[in-house]
Amino acid sequence: MMPENHQEDLQGISERLEASLQSTHSDFPVFVVAETESTNTDLLRLDYQTHSKFCALLAINQSGGRGRQGRTWLSDEGSLTFSVRWQFKRSAATLSGLSLAVAVATLAGIESLGVTGVAIKWPNDLLIGSGKLGGILLEIGKPLSDGLTHAVIGIGINIRPLADSSKSELKAAALLEDRRPEQIHKQREAILVAILKQLIPTLIQFDEEGFAAFRQNWMRKAAWLGEMVVLSTGTKGTLIGVDQDGALLLETELCIERFLSGDLSLRPAAL
pLDDT, tens digit (0-9, with 9 covering 90-100), for 144-195: 767 889 999 999 999 987 655 444 455 778 887 665 666 677 889 999 999 9
pLDDT, averaged across the chain: 86
The rounded Cα 236 to chain-centroid distance in angstroms is 26
Domain ranges, ordered by start, for the chain: 4-218, 224-268
Give the mean pLDDT of 88-105: 95
> 181-199 burial, b for 16+ CB within 10 Å, e for fewer?
eeebbebbbebbbbbbbbb
Packing angle, helices 181-209 and 98-111, rounded to 10 = 140
Report DSSP state, residue 144: P
Percent of the chain with pLDDT over 90: 64
**CATH no., domain 4-218:** 3.30.930.10
Q: What is the pLDDT of residues 16-64, one digit of tens each?
A: 999 999 999 999 999 999 999 999 999 998 876 677 889 999 999 888 6
Q: Which CATH class is domain 224-268?
A: mainly beta
Rg over alpha carbons for the chain, rounded to the nearest Å, is 18
